Chain A
């Protein structure tokens, strides 16, 4: 298995809802990432997990809460989001210390906040 799988593919949520995005990989990668991508813009890093521990938080608002329950799974919990949070949320993974060999990206969850 050489893929990063993200679910759901699409999500519409109200500003008072709580929802979660899920990311899974079975490549044995111990680094996992959340990126946010607005239309026609590059991905922007949100969080990095290394060996299931949060190593980078790019000053992301607390309404986004990441979780890495095990080495294959990465979640992003969403609560009280704003319409401007609507975007494509990408998950990626890589080998720790071997990032120069590249990152594998999922196809993303397209989030719309209404």
Chain B
């Protein structure tokens, strides 16, 4: 089965604290994984994709095939990071995007 699991519905941290949003996937092939972010009243935006190994807004995510994980990390959270974060899987040879249930990140001052 193709599935994305984000175990935390809500993650609340203080400004300046490290953040890790967990994402685990279930997929038998070679996964293509993404993190999307949805700020309040804004459209869903691509944050990171695993193929690029980039850092966007201080966030990074590493694909761990052994643990089937793609956790999103940031060393020092900022208040403007408060948003809903979705991990998403694209199975090969299909345009379909499968989303996890999402994690709301709340960064307190």
Contact = CB atoms under 8 A, between A and B. Distances in A.
Interface residues of A, number: 26
A31 B43 contact: no
Contacts of B49: 100-102
A68 to B, nearest CB: 13
B97 interface: yes
A103 interface: yes
B32 A45 contact: no
A107 B42 contact: yes
Nearest to A106: B43
Contacts, number: 54
A55 B44 contact: no
A48 B34 CA distance: 19
A56 B96 contact: yes
A55 B32 CA distance: 20
Interface string A12-50: 000000000000000000010100000011111100101
A108 interface: yes
Contacts of A96: 95
A74 to B, nearest CB: 13
Nearest to A56: B96
A101 to B, nearest CB: 7
Interface string B12-56: 000000000000000000001010100000111110010100000
B90 interface: yes
Nearest to B96: A45
A105 B99 contact: no
B102 A50 contact: no
Interface of B: 32, 34, 36, 42-46, 49, 51, 86, 90, 94-102
